[in-house]
Chain A
Amino acid sequence: DQQVKQNSPSLSVQEGRISILNCDYTNSMFDYFLWYKKYPAEGPTFLISISSIKDKNEDGRFTVFLNKSAKHLSLHIVPSQPGDSAVYFCAASVRELTGGGNKLTFGTGTQLKVEL
C-alpha cells in the first residue's frame, strides 16, 4: 500500500524554466511533508518542508504548495538549473518532526533532468 505517490517517474525541463514535481498521499493523518533530493549512490538531502497548517512554504528557488483537501503537494523550482538534475522524493510524517523521531514515508521519486 503506497501511501505517498509520485506518479511521474521522470520530468525534463529546460534551464531557466519552472520545474513542478507532484506528490499525492492517501493517509489523512499525515501532517508534515518534506522534499528530498537524491543523487545516485548517495543518501537523500533535505530541501524543504511544510506543515499541514500552511499551504505554502518558500525557500529561495524552492516553493512547496500543499492542498490538504486534495491530499496533494507540489514542489516548484524556479529557475531550474542543470545542477538540479536529480531524483526528488517527497516524504510524509504523521506529526511534525520532534525529538521523538517520527517515521518518514517516502514516495517513489521523480527523476528531474534540467537541460541546457
Chain B
Amino acid sequence: GAVVSQHPSWVICKSGTSVKIECRSLDFQATTMFWYRQFPKQSLMLMATSNEGSKATYEQGVEKDKFLINHASLTLSTLTVTSAHPEDSSFYICSALHIEGARGYTFGSGTRLTVV
C-alpha cells in the first residue's frame, strides 16, 4: 500500500516551453504533497508544500510563477515548470503524506527534466 506514482519519469523539452509533472497517490488520499528538486550529488531540496484545495507554500528562493503547483484533488498534485531554461534541468521528486508517524512520507520515483 501507499504508492505514489510520478509521471513522466523523464522528459526532454526545448527552452521556453512548459512541462507538467504529475504526482498521484494511488491507494490513499493525500491532503499534503511535497515537491523536491535534486541536483547531481546534492541533497533533496524542498521546493514547495502542496495542499489540496489551497495555494501551495513555496520555500524561500523558489519562484512560484515559474513552478506552478496545482493540488486539485486528494490524489493528484501537478508541478508545471513554465518557460523552462537549461538551468531548470534537474531531478524532481514528489512525496505524499498518508499516515501519521515515521513512515508517513511516500516518495514518487522522480522525473528527470532536461531542457535543451
Interfacial residues, chain A to chain B (CB-CB below 8 A): 2, 4, 9, 32, 34, 36, 41-46, 48-49, 89, 96-99, 101, 103-109
Contacts of B34 in A (CB 8 A): 101, 103-104
The CA-CA distance from A34 to B105 in the complex, in Å, is 11
Q: Is the CB of A103 within 8 A of B49?
A: yes
The stretch of B14-22, B68-76, B79-87, B93-101 that contacts the partner chain: B93-101
B46 located at the interface, meaning its Cβ lies under 8 Å from any Cβ of chain A in the complex: yes
Of the residues B9, B32, B36, contact of A101 by C-beta under 8 Å: B32
The CA-CA distance from A58 to B49 in the complex, in Å, is 31
The CA-CA distance from A90 to B79 in the complex, in Å, is 25
Q: What is the predominant secondary structure among interface residues of chain A facing chain B?
A: loop
Report the count of interface residues on B (CB-CB < 8 A).
31
Q: Is the CB of A97 within 8 A of B108?
A: no
B44 located at the interface, meaning its Cβ lies under 8 Å from any Cβ of chain A in the complex: yes
Q: Is the CB of B49 within 8 A of A98?
A: no
Expressed in whole angstroms, the minimum distance between the Cβ of A33 and any Cβ of chain B is 10
Given contacts A41-B112, A101-B32, A109-B43, contact A46 B6 (CB under 8 A): no
Given contacts A9-B41, A34-B102, A97-B100, contact A45 B49 (CB under 8 A): no
The CA-CA distance from A41 to B107 in the complex, in Å, is 12
B54 located at the interface, meaning its Cβ lies under 8 Å from any Cβ of chain A in the complex: no
Closest to B6 in A: A43
Contacts of B100 in A (CB 8 A): 97-99
B104 located at the interface, meaning its Cβ lies under 8 Å from any Cβ of chain A in the complex: yes
Q: Is the CB of B97 within 8 A of A99?
A: yes
Q: Is the CB of A41 within 8 A of B105?
A: no
Chain A to chain B contacts (Cβ below 8 Å), 6 pairs: A32-B102, A41-B91, A103-B46, A103-B49, A105-B46, A106-B44
The CA-CA distance from A44 to B91 in the complex, in Å, is 12
Q: Is the CB of B103 within 8 A of A46?
A: yes
B109 located at the interface, meaning its Cβ lies under 8 Å from any Cβ of chain A in the complex: yes
Of all A-B residue pairs in the complex, the 10 with the closest CB atoms, nearest first, are A43-B107, A49-B102, A101-B32, A106-B44, A108-B43, A106-B43, A101-B97, A44-B107, A43-B108, A43-B109
